[in-house]
């Protein structure tokens, strides 16, 4: 049985992972202009959603009131993350929720979210509060200055990681190095190609068929998008608020696969 609550979820786009341009017609038809569409991919993040949404809206309401939307794309999490989010939509009308049942994976979730987005600026942020929210304003400022892509980086300026083990630091840098060897012209354009925290101008990816594998949506955007100007903003990667990381060895294998697919696509 489909409940009314499920009915008000966003319909999941199907077919190619392609973001469309905003036409003059759609612009004229929409009553309010959305500047920023921020996608939050989730899997088993129910503990973090209330704090995340409350803090995000508090921040964005002071800066760009009524000009943003938050799009949760959940992969039918067994802890009912989508439902926790859906229950908040009355209080937070700028919050929209998608629950995917047929597709899985972080990167495709992000693109599916962008496909239903209304904004000119498309962003992504983790749900676990590891990405400091204030950085959003700096990223948006870079896009407004004219950047096609603004990446939050752990390796520029004040950036860093809070208290990562040696093993985790090694794996992260190793993955970056591997990327530099396989796809130097793409991975070498940013100091933190592993970042999952960035904004891209819709026009830079509109019409491109994206086919990301695994976790690293930024590499897909850098490679297939029409990115001329890249800006970077330093940030310190925080500890998770609640729940746990979904990263396993599978994501490292998928990363390698993704790099190779892009290498031969070029
Ligand atoms: N929709 C969706 N989201 C995911 C998936 N895997 C991870 N996420 C979300 O992506 C973000 C980053 O994942 P996380 O496990 O915290 O990665 P880490 O920060 O690198 O340890 C979080 O908001 C996760 O809930 C997935 O398969 N599908
Ligand atoms: Mg995380």
- Give tens-digit pLDDT for 174-222: 999 999 999 999 999 999 999 999 999 999 999 999 999 999 999 999 9
Reading the block at residue 111, the tokens are: 């693109």
Q: What is the pLDDT of residues 75-103, one digit of tens each?
A: 999 999 999 999 999 999 999 999 999 99
Reading the block at residue 229, the tokens are: 């100007």
d(CA 224, CA 207) in angstroms, rounded, equals 10
d(CA 126, CA 135) in angstroms, rounded, equals 13
Residue 142, ligand 1, Cβ within 6 A: no
The answer to whether residue 146 is domain-embedded is yes
The answer to whether residue 246 is domain-embedded is no
Tell me the residue range of the domain where 149 lies.
Answer: 4-163+195-212+226-240
Q: What is the pLDDT of residues 124-142, one digit of tens each?
A: 999 999 999 999 999 999 9
Mutation probe of ligand 1 site: the residue of 41, 47, 53 with most atoms within 8 A of C-beta: 41
The answer to whether residue 57 is domain-embedded is yes
CATH number at residue 106: 3.90.550.10
3-class SS of residue 11: coil
Name the domain count of the chain: 1
Could you tell me the pLDDT band of residue 2, with boundaries at 50, 70 and 90? very low
The answer to whether residue 176 is domain-embedded is no
The answer to whether residue 11 is domain-embedded is yes
Q: What per-residue confidence (pLDDT) applies to 22?
A: 85
CA of 97 to the centre of ligand 1 (A): 16
Q: What per-residue confidence (pLDDT) applies to 1?
A: 46
Residue 119, ligand 1, Cβ within 6 A: no
Reading the block at residue 195, the tokens are: 């970042």
Residue 45, ligand 1, Cβ within 6 A: yes
The answer to whether residue 253 is domain-embedded is no
User: With pLDDT > 90 as the criterion, what percentage of the chain qualifies?
Assistant: 86
The answer to whether residue 100 is domain-embedded is yes
Residue 129, ligand 1, Cβ within 6 A: no
The answer to whether residue 15 is domain-embedded is yes
Residue nearest to atom 16 of ligand 1 (CA): 245
d(CA 147, CA 124) in angstroms, rounded, equals 16
Place of tokens 């530099």: 180
For residue 180, count CB atoms less than 10 angstroms from its CB and return exposed for 0-12, middle for 13-18, buried for 19 or more. Answer: middle
């Amino acid at each position: 049985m489909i409940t009314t609550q499920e009915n008000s979820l966003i319909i999941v786009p199907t077919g190619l992972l392609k973001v469309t341009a905003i036409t003059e017609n759609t612009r004229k038809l929409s009553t309010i202009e959305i500047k920023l569409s921020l996608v939050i991919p989730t899997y088993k993040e129910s503990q973090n959603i209330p704090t995340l949404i409350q803090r995000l809206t508090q921040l964005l309401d002071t800066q760009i009131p009524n000009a943003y939307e938050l799009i949760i794309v959940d992969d039918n999490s067994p802890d009912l993350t989508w439902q926790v989010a859906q229950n908040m939509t009355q209080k937070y009308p700028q919050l929209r929720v998608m629950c995917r049942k047929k597709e899985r994976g972080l990167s495709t979730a992000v693109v599916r979210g962008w496909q239903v987005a209304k904004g000119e600026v498309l962003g992504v942020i983790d749900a676990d509060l590891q990405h400091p929210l204030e950085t959003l304003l700096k990223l948006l400022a870079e896009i407004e200055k004219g950047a096609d892509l603004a990446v939050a980086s752990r390796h520029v300026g004040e950036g860093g990681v809070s208290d990562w083990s040696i093993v985790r630091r090694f794996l992260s840098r190793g993955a970056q190095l591997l990327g530099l060897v396989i796809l130097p012209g793409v991975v070498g354009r940013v100091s933190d190609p592993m970042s999952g925290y960035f904004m891209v101008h819709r026009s830079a990816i509109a019409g491109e068929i994206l086919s990301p594998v695994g976790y690293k949506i930024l590499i897909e955007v850098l490679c297939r998008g029409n990115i001329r100007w890249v800006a970077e903003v330093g940030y310190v990667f925080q500890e998770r608020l609640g729940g746990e990381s979904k990263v396993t060895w599978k994501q490292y294998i998928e990363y390698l696969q993704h790099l190779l697919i892009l290498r031969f696509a070029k």
